[in-house]
Amino acid sequence: MERTRTEAERNLKEGGFLDVAHWKKDDAFQNALKKISTVMYDFEYNKRQPYCKNCAVKAVKQEIARLNENVIKKMENKESSVNLEFNIDYDKFGGADKFEKVNETEIVEDKLLDGMRQSTITGKYKNYICKTCSSHIDMEFKNSELDTEKIKSGKIPIQ
């Protein structure tokens, strides 16, 4: 059933100051996960750089624990307003410099060439390991994209 959102719920989505009675850890966590997804998508699909979701989620959990302690303290002191702003720079968990690039693995697919099925290299995975938590991130690059990169960097002359 649909119900109208309360002012407190809207405020929580935007972060910032809020009545302590409306603080919900689970909602804050869900909102943060959505934010992580958006930033991660931007890194992986727009910037084509790896992003460590593990590190981002860990930072969010620590931040929520910190805010939750604040809320409990405020309630004990009978204060009604608390700053629930997330002090997290989500961008810092992304970018090739945050990872060791271990190797590249060729992507081999069966393709029909002149009526014959042949194994063809269609691209490669770039394999990254997070310098902070050692998570493995593999990013898939098609040959067409890799060629565009080479043209841009001057490794292949434009025809």
Tell me if 135 contacts Zn ion by CB under 5 A: yes
Which one of the spans 6-14, 34-42, 52-60, 120-128 is the region binding Zn ion (CB under 5 A)?
52-60
Q: Of 32, 35, 25, give the one whose Cα is nearest residue 71.
A: 25
- The DSSP string of 13-79 is HH-SEEEGGG--HHHHHHHHHHHHHHHHHIIIIII---B-HHHHHHHHHHHHHHHHHHHHHHHHTT-
Tell me if 56 contacts Zn ion by CB under 5 A: no
Q: How far is the CB of 135 from Zn ion (least distance, A)?
A: 5
The mark string for 112-131 relative to Zn ion (x by CB under 5 A, - otherwise) is ------------------x-
Site residues (vs Zn ion, CB under 5 A)? 52, 54-55, 130, 132-133, 135
